[in-house]
Structure 1
Amino acid sequence: MGSSQEEIQVVKKADSKIIHQLSNKSRSKYAINPYKDVNRVEDLSGHDYTFHRIEVIENFPEPEKARNILERLRDDKGIRAIMKKHKWNVGTLQELSPSERTILGFNRNYGQLISLRLRTNDMEGFRHYPEIRKVLLHELTHNVWGEHDDNFHRLNRQLNKEVVNLDWTASGGNKISNGEFYNPPEEEKVDEKAWQGGSFILGGSSDRSKTLSKRELLAEAALIRLTKEEEELNEGCGSGKL
């Protein structure tokens, strides 16, 4: 579920206040253009499924470091494998200003643009890479599903497994052939408390519970229950609500 250009302007206006403060202190020699990218032209031949453009906020401190983070995400072997497997192309991967402190990222128009918050709230540093990558996986899921429903979370959990399993350089991989590695998927962890007396305690009918195995019912219960991290990512997602 995307955000309109008008909605994006709300964030840009908030950015201008921060930029004005920074420019008065030490960066007044730079032109105020918060979403000018520092990597306009680059050769993407041979990269069919990728992020085709990178944009950072040049007027914020250390724009090169911000660009390095976005480039690291673009070139992350797990992310690249996911993009290739699902045949996804994203027009722009962009730095999101921390001026909207409740937003961690958003996806506009199913992959036209993905914006991620890289900096801490005080703008004194950058958020940890694994945290930013999880937000990217969340926003990539919006390439397919707009709402945060069961379909969304099923795919998002799949991507969080694939980003590790498809990265053959990750530790713990088992070499199988031609330098490739394979990590078998972990078994879905389920809560035994969701199963009581042979019945699935989640509002389902007893007839249906008879037709599904215990493992299937437990896995379904685990899917419906969101983890704390998933709830936080949902709350921090600006797709469709900026």
Structure 2
Amino acid sequence: MASLTVAHRGTNHAISVNAETDTIASVKQALEALTGVPVANQKLLHKSIRPNTNLDASTLTQVFGQTLPTEKILMVGSLPSDVSVIQRKDAVLDIRKARERTPTQPHPESSIKRAYTFGTVQPLPQFPDANKAKTLLIRLREDIGVIEVMRKHQWFVGTLTELHPAEKEILGFNRNMGAEISLRIRTDDLAGFRHYRTVVSVLMHELVHMVHSDHDDKFHALNRVLNKEYDEFSVGRSIGTDGRVDGSQAFSVEGEEEEGSLARYGYQGGSFLLGGSGAQATDDAAKREAMLAAAENRRLKKWEQDLVDACDGSKHSGTDGTHEPQ
């Protein structure tokens, strides 16, 4: 007997399997018993599992080869309770939308052809304000900062999609290093959309997974570089208002400070003399600057940890799933 490790909502589940006889369907049945997520609601993400294909009848050997993967497989799926809650909220929102019934012009697709961009954008059509969700995804694609970051690093992503809001812990994932990047753009109550700069931060995180699978020092270094580049490319350029697409109050990650983005990502420079003169003043300034740098470094590490904490797919190149900061 062999073992597969499947991660779901921050918990790893070890499943004993016979690679020659067990199928993807039997793995899903075992996962339903462990997690309560019905087989019909399950989606397994791994570099060996081709998207949009039904492999339920295939044995594990047929899918993974003679050697089963040692890294974790990510399972995305909603519990029946999640689905019922969303269905109730959908009904309420549908009533409100029927009352208002204000036509909204969809955002026009860009006709600009670029080598390094997102091929398509896909909102969730079953949710209210799907046109606004599409507008937000297009805004991300056409953001000058995002355009220049992807151009500089020569990255092309097949599809930018909206992540289902039932996955409350997951903020986003990058499947197969650029086949698809999915971002959770709606608030938990489904009443609006998340703070734009927060969504951009998650997007930068997922773009780092174009190169690095693990959240190691190289990952964090590139993540800081991308955020700095985004800020530099965006300075003085019009990318729209910094808030929700619908104009309501912006959502912020708990603990996020509404200050300059350079400070948020730990960039520092310059010296500060806070009074006094001579060697003592210089020493005091140096100590204070060191204390500020240490505090900034702690905040930076917390911000990064908030994005990578319990990242299900962080151990392999197939899929990364970024989880909601606790």
Q: TM-score range by the shorter chain?
A: 0.5 to 0.7
- The answer on 1:149 being equivalent to 2:191 is no
TM-score normalised by length of structure 2: 0.49
Kept in 2: contact 1:11–1:97 (CA 8 A): no
Letter in structure 2 aligned against 1:99: A
Kept in 1: contact 2:76–2:167 (CA 8 A): no
State the 1:14 CA deviation: 8.1
Structure 2 counterpart of 1:99, from 166, 169, 175: 166
- The answer on 1:3 being equivalent to 2:45 is yes
Letter in structure 2 aligned against 1:79: V
Letter in structure 2 aligned against 1:138: H
In 1, Cα distance between equivalents of 2:136 and 2:81: 23
- The answer on 1:56 being equivalent to 2:98 is no
Deviates more, 1:224-233 or 1:139-148: 224-233
Alignment-derived partner of residue 111 in structure 1:
178
State the 1:147 CA deviation: 0.5
Deviates more, 1:161-170 or 1:115-124: 161-170
State the 1:169 CA deviation: 3.2
Structure 2 counterpart of 1:75, from 142, 156, 174: 142
State the 1:23 CA deviation: 5.4
TM-score normalised by length of structure 1: 0.64
Larger Rg over CA atoms: 2
Q: Deviations over 1:15-46 (max 9, x none)?
A: 75455435555659xxxxxxxxxx9xx67663
Deviates more, 1:82-91 or 1:232-241: 232-241
Kept in 2: contact 1:96–1:115 (CA 8 A): yes
In the superposition, relative to structure 1, how do residues 130 and 45 fare at CA in structure 2: closer, same or farther (>3 Å)?
closer
Kept in 1: contact 2:165–2:186 (CA 8 A): yes
Kept in 2: contact 1:104–1:237 (CA 8 A): no
In 1, Cα distance between equivalents of 2:192 and 2:110: 30
The total of aligned residue pairs comes to 187
Q: Deviations over 1:141-165 (max 9, x none)?
A: 0000000000100100000010022
- The answer on 1:127 being equivalent to 2:210 is no
Q: Which runs of 5+ in 1 are unaligned?
A: 29-38, 172-184, 191-218
Alignment-derived partner of residue 304 in structure 2:
230
In 2, Cα distance between equivalents of 1:224 and 1:144: 25
Of all paired residues, the percent bearing the same amino acid is 40
SS of 2:189 mapped into structure 1: coil
SS of 2:192 mapped into structure 1: coil
Q: Which runs of 5+ in 2 are unaligned?
A: 1-43, 50-72, 96-105, 239-261, 270-292, 315-319, 322-326
